[in-house]
Structure 1
Amino acid sequence: MKWTQVIDPFNNITLSVLVAAIPILFIFWALIIRKMKGYQASLIATVIASIIAILVYGMPVKLAILSIGHGALYGLFPICWLVVMAVFLFNLTVKSGQFEIIKHFMASITSDRRLQALLIAFSFGSFLEGTAGFGAPVAITAAMLVGLGFNPLYASGICLIANTAPVAFGSIGIPITVASQVSGIPELPISQMVGRGLPLLSLVLPFYLVSIIAGFNKAREILPAVLVSGASFAFFQWFSSNYLGPSLPDVIAGLGSIICLMILLRFWKPKTVWRFSNEPAPTLNTDIHYTNGQILRAWSPFIVLTIMVIAWGMQPIKDVLNSLGMTQFEVPGLHNAIQGADGTLLAKVFKVNYLSAAGTAILIAGLVSIPLIGLTYRQGLTVFGATLHQLRFPILTIAAVLGFAYIVNDSGITLTLAKVLANTGVLFPFFAPVLGWLGVFITGSDTSANALFSKLQFATAQSIGVDPVVTVASNVTGGVVGKMISPQSIAVAAAAGDLIGKESDLFRFTVKHSFIMLVIICFITLGQAYTFKWMIPTYEMLSSSSTATSPDASRGFSYLFGLAIILIGLTATVRIMTKTKKQTPTLVD
C-alpha cells in the first residue's frame, strides 16, 4: 500500500498552514509560557502532530506509528549514543580527580569567566563541531564549563549560542555535502557562499556571547580579547571555506582562534576578573603548582578525544569501519510506503554504523583514558552506569523529539509550511533562511534541513531569477541559528549542563537570540541576492553522469594503523612524564 503526501489538505493554503503550525507553536508555548519539562512537551507535541497527520493529512495510522518509531530509533542511535559517551568521558575526568587539575590550569590562564567562555564555548566548541558534530560540542563544552563553576543555565545557553558559528561546516562539512548532493550545485561554491556571509556573524559572536553573560559594559572591558577571538575565527573560516572547501573551516578556525587568544593573554590581561555575582571570588591557590606531566595527564582524555574525532572524520577510516561494522535494514512497513508530492517514494532505511559513529570514537577515547587518569575499568563501569542513570530523562526527551521530527516530515506538515515561504516571490531570498531555520528546529540537524529543502531552495530561486547558490547557502546559514532552539539541542545541552527538567528555562534563554540572528541572516541573504551580486561565486552544475569510486580499504587500514601508533605514543608519553612524579600538587614554601 502506498500513501501519497498531501501539501494542502484543505485546498486553502492559509488554513492548511495554520493547522500545520499547531504542533510547532505548541512547543514554543509549552517551553516558554507553560515551562514544561522537555520530555513532556516533546511527547505531547508528538501526539498533536500525529492527530493532525492522521485526521487532516489522511496519513494511515500504521504509517504514523512507524514513522514515530523510526525517529525514536534514530534518537537512540546515533544521537543518544553520542551524548551518553560525551558525558561519560567528562564524568571519568571528574571521578579521577583530574578535572580539578584542568580547572586549576584554566584558572592559571585566566579565571575570568568571560575569557573562559571564549576559549571553551566558542573556540574549542567550534573545533569539536568540525570534527564530531551531532551534539558532541555542546555536550562536552557545557559539561566542562559547569565543571569549572559556571552557572549551569549560562554554561548550556552560551554553548548553544556559540555553536551557531560552526554548525554549517560541522562534521567535516557534511551539511554542505548534503546540500550539494540534493541541489546539484558543487560543494565548493556553496562553501564559498556560506563563507562570505557566516563570517560576518562569527566576527561579532564573541562580543555578543560575553554581552549575554556579563553585559555590554563588561564585554567592552575585554574588547581586545573578543576582537582577536572573533576576527581570527572569521578570517580562518572565510579563508578555508573559500579556498579549501567545506571540510576544514571549523577545525582551522577553532584552533586558530584558540592559539591567537592564548598568545594575546600572554601579553594582555583584563584589569578586573569578572565572575558571576552569586559565586565566590577566585580561589586559585598560587602556592600549588602542577608539573607538565600532571597537566598532560589531566588533559589526556580530551587530547585522545580530539585525536579520535579527527580520525573518525576521515573518509578512508569511515569507509573501512563501515565495511567492518555497519548493518542496515529497511524499516518494515514504512520503506517506500510513502510517496512524496513529487511522485518519488521515500526510502526508509535504518543504518547502525556502530563502528564509524562519533559516539564510538568517544567511547574508545574513554576506554583509552581510563588507565591514563588512574582509574580501573571496574570504576569506569560504575561511572558508566551512573551516567546512564543521570541521562535517563534526556534519553527519553531526545527519542520523543526525533519521533516528532519524523512524523511532521513524513506526513507533509513540514512541506506545507515550506510552500508558503516559497510563494513569497521576489522576497523569497529574505525568507529563504527561515526554511533552513525551520528545518533545523524540527530535525535538530543542519544536515537534515539541507536534505529537506535544498531542492526547493534551488527551484524557487530559479523561478524568480535569483542565483540558486544564494538560497541554497542561506538554507545552511539559516539552519545554524535554529540549532540553538531545536528541542533536540536543548535536550542535549540540558543533559550536559545538569539542567534536567529545566529545558524550558534553557529554551527561553536562547530563543530571542535565535530570532535576532535569523533576521540578520535574512537581510544578508536579501542583499546578496539583489545588491551584492559580486559575492556570488562562478560555478558549473554537477554532472549527473559522474560515477562513484569504490573506497580504498588499504588506505583506511593504513590510517587506523597510524592512529594506533599515535595513541600508543601519547600513552607512553603520559606514563613517562608522570612515572617519577607523584600525582599531587607541589606546594611551594
Structure 2
Amino acid sequence: MQWTQNFSPIGDSVVLSALVALIPILYFFWALAIKRMKGHIAGLTTLLVALIIAIVAYGMPAGMAVMSATQGAVYGILPIGWIIITSVFLYKLTVKTGQFDIIRNSILTITEDRRLQALLIAFSFGAFLEGAAGFGAPVAISAALLVGLGFNPLYAAGICLLANTAPVAFGAIGIPITAVEGPTGIPAMEISKMVGRQLPFLSVFIPFYLVVIMTGFKKSIEVLPAILVSGLTFAITQYLTSNFLGPELPDILSALVSLFALAIFLRFWKPTSIYRFGFESETAATTKNSTTQNYTGGQIFKAWSPFLVLTGFISIWGIPTIKTALVGAYEGTNPLLQFVNVIGHALTFKPEVPGLHNMILNGAGEPIAALYKLEILAAAGTAILLATIVTKFIVKISWSDWTKTLGETLDELKYPITTIAAVVAFAYVTNASGMSTSLGMTLALTGSLFPFFSPLLGWIGVFITGSDTSANLLFGNLQKITALSVGMDPILAVAANSSGGVTGKMISPQSIAVACAAVGLAGKEADLFRFTIKHSIFLVLIVCIMTYLQHTVFSWMIP
C-alpha cells in the first residue's frame, strides 16, 4: 500500500510541523555539543528519535521508515565508509613502511611553519581531492597528513573541515552543480557562473580565517603575504574556471594553481619567525629544524608516490566517460572502455528497497524510487584501494603485512563506520518522511526576506544529508519556485543553496565522523562538533548577507 508524504501533519501547519521536524536535529546538537556523547551513540540515538518522529508525528508507516533507514545505512557504508577505510589504509601503509617520515621531511624543506603547512595541505591539497573525489576523501587524507606532520589530531580535523568549505560546491568534478540542473531546469553553466561569483569571496577569506583560528590575528599578519598568494590565486582561478569553463574543473585547477603558487612563493619569501604548536619552540626562520634530513629526489618521489598514484586513480575515476563505463553504462566503441564496462556492469547492483521502492508518493503524487546503489567498481574507495595495491609494490611491503595493516584499519574504524551508517540513515528517514521538506517550506515563508534566508536551506540540507549534491537535489526546485514568487532571480536562489550548503559541511554528522575516523579520534566527535559549529554559523551568515546584497544592491552580478 502506497503512502503520501504530508509536509504539514501537525495541525495542518507547515510551521508547527517544521518545529517537530527540528527535534532530531536539536537532539543531535544536544547529544554532541552538550551531552558529549560518543559519535556512534549520538548517531544511533538520533536515528531512533528520527524514526519515532517520522512514524508518530508524520504518519509514515513503520516498515517504510525502517527500510529508508537501511537504504541510508547501506549508502553510508558504500561509497562513504569505503572511502574512509581505504584512505586511512593508504596512509597507514606509508607510516608502517617509513615513507611518511620522508614525506614529512619534504614538507618541512618547503616550510617548517605550521600555518603555511596548513595552507598547503588542508586548503590547497584538500581542495584538489575535493574536486577529484569529494565525499570524505579530502578531509580524511589531508587530516591524516597533518597529524603525521605533528598537528594535534583535533586541530588537524577541524582545520581540514574548515578549509574544505571553499571547494565543496564544485566537488567531485562539479556534481553538486550539474545534478541540480535536472530538477530546476536551469542550465548548469548559469548556476556555475553564479556560484563562481559568490564562493571566490569565501575562498579569499578562508585561508586568513583558518590561520587566525590556529594562531590568532597578530601571528596571522606575519604570514599575510603567503595567505594572500594562497587565497587570491585560488579565488581568481575559481572565478575564471566557473564562469568560462563550467562546473567540472574549478576545484582541481584552483587547487593546483594555489598549491604551486604558494610553494614557489615560499622559495623566495620566509616569515620572520617559525610558528609551532605548544611544546614546539618559536625560532628564527633561518634556523634549521633538527628533524630534517637530506633525502635524494628519488627517495622523496618514492615517498610521495602512493599519493601521486592515489591522485591519478581518483582523477581517472572522475572522468565522465570513464565513470559511465565503471557503472556499466558505456555505449561507445573504445575497446578498453568496453572491457571496463563489462566489469563495471558485473559489479554494479541496484536492487529495490523492499517495501519502499515506489511506495512513497511525493507532494505531486509521484512515486519515489528507492534503490540500494552498490556501484562497487565506480566507488572512489575502489580507486583508492587500487592505489594501495600499487603502493604495496612501491614501498615493497609483503602481502601478509599489507593484509595485516588492512585488518588493523578495519578494526580501528568499526565505530566510526557505525557512526557514518547511522547518520546517513537518519538523513534518509528525514527525507523520506517529508521532515526535510517541511523545514524548507517554512523558510520559504519568509517572503521578502527569503533572499537572506535562502542559503540557510542549503546549510540545513548539507547538515542533514552530508552532501551539497543531495542538498541541491532536495531543495533546488523549492528555491527556484520560492524565488519566482518573491521576485528573486531563481539562478541566485539555486546558487545560494549550494554556496550556503558548503558552510554546513563542517558540522554534518557524516563529515564529523569521517574526520574523527581519519585522525584516530573515534568517540571524540562531540569535541570536534563544538570546534566547528561556531565557525559554520559565522560563515553561513556571511553567505546570507552576500546573497541578500546580490539580490538588492549588486544584482548586476547575477548572470
Structure 1 CA distance, aligned partners of 2:514 and 2:293? 35
Q: Deviations over 1:100-122 (max 9, x none)?
A: 00011111111110000000000
Question: What is the match of residue 511 of structure 1?
Answer: 533
Q: Is contact 1:167-1:446 (8 Å) kept?
A: yes
Superposition deviation, residue 374 in structure 1:
2.1
Partner residue, 2:93: 92
- Pairing 1:50-65 to 2, within 5 Å after superposition: 50-65=51-66
Write the distance in 2 (CA, Å) between the matches of 1:440 and 1:286.
41
- The CA deviation at 1:288 is 2.7
Letter in 2 for 1:298: A
Q: Contact 2:105–2:291 at 8 Å: present in 1 too?
A: no
* 2:338 corresponds to 1:316: no
* Residue 343 of structure 1: aligned partner: 365
Match of 1:446 in 2: 468
Amino acid at match of 2:302: R
Tell me the equivalent position of 1:248.
Answer: 249
In the TM superposition, residue 478 of structure 1 has moved relative to its aligned partner by 0.6
| Structure 2 Cα separation of the partners of residues 383 and 489 of structure 1 | 24
Residue 536 of structure 1 deviates from its aligned partner by 1.0
Alignment of structure 1 residues 304-383 onto 2, 5 Å: 304-323=309-328, 324=342, 325=344, 326-383=348-405
- Given that 1:138 and 1:493 are in contact with CA atoms closer than 8 Å, whether structure 2 keeps it comes out as yes
User: Distance in 2 between the 1:467 and 1:281 partners?
Assistant: 52
Aligned to 2:7: 7
Give the letter aligned to residue 107 of structure 2: M
Give the CA deviation at 1:81. Answer: 0.6
- Aligned to 2:302, which of 290, 297, 317? 297
TM-score by length of 2: 0.95
Q: Is the 8 A contact 1:104 1:284 kept in 2?
A: no
Structure 1 residues 164-183: aligned runs within 5 Å = 164-183=165-184
Query: Following the alignment from structure 2 to structure 1, what is the Cα–Cα distance between the partners of residues 291 and 369?
Result: 61
Which residue is 1:258 aligned to? 259
**2:488 is equivalent to residue 466 of structure 1:** yes
Where does residue 446 of structure 2 map in the other structure? Answer: 424
Question: With structure 1 as the length reference, what TM-score do the two structures score?
Answer: 0.90
Deviant stretches of 4+, over 2 Å: 12-15, 278-288
Q: Which of 284, 293, 297 matches 1:288?
A: 293
Cα distance in 2 between the residues matched to 1:496 and 1:85? 10
Do residues 76 (structure 1) and 77 (structure 2) align? yes
Extract unaligned runs of 5+ from structure 2.
329-341
Aligned match of 2:518 in 492, 496, 520? 496
For 2:549, the equivalent position in structure 1 comes to: 527
User: Which residue of structure 1 aligns with residue 332 of structure 2?
Assistant: none
What is the rounded CA distance, in whole Å, between the counterparts of 1:172 and 1:13 in structure 2?
Answer: 36
Q: 2:105–2:292: 8 Å Cα contact kept in structure 1?
A: no
Farther off after superposition, 276-285 or 73-82: 276-285
Relative to structure 1, is the Cα distance of residues 116 and 462 closer, same or farther in structure 2, using a 3 angstrom cutoff? same
Aligned in 2, Cα 1:6/1:287: closer, same or farther, shift over 3 Å?
A: closer
CA shift at 1:285, angstroms? 3.6
In the TM superposition, residue 284 of structure 1 has moved relative to its aligned partner by 3.4
Deviation at 1:350, TM superposition (A): 1.8
What residue identity is the alignment partner of 2:241?
A: S
Q: Percent identity?
A: 57
**Residue type matched to 2:442 in 1?**
V
C-alpha deviation, 1:527, in angstroms: 1.2
Offset at residue 439 of structure 1 (A): 0.5
TM-fit CA distance, 1:379: 1.2
Q: Is the 8 A contact 1:435 1:475 kept in 2?
A: yes
| Separation in structure 2 between the aligned mates of residue 476 and residue 287 of structure 1, nearest angstrom | 43
CA contact (8 A) 2:8 2:14 kept: yes
The aligned runs of 1:177-216 (5 Å cut-off) are: 177-216=178-217
With over 3 angstroms needed to count, the CA separation of the structure-2 counterparts of 1:221 and 1:51, relative to structure 1, is same
Aligned residues of 1:66 and 1:334 also touching (Cα < 8 A): yes
Specify every segment of 5 or more residues in structure 1 that has no aligned partner in the other structure, as ranges.
538-589
For residue 547 of structure 1, what is the aligned residue in structure 2? none
1:396 to 2:418 alignment: yes
Query: Residue 443 and residue 287 in structure 1: after superposition, are their counterparts in 2 closer, same or farther (change >3 A)?
Result: closer
Query: What is the CA–CA distance in structure 1 between the aligned matches of 2:373 and 2:431, rounded to whole Å?
Result: 19
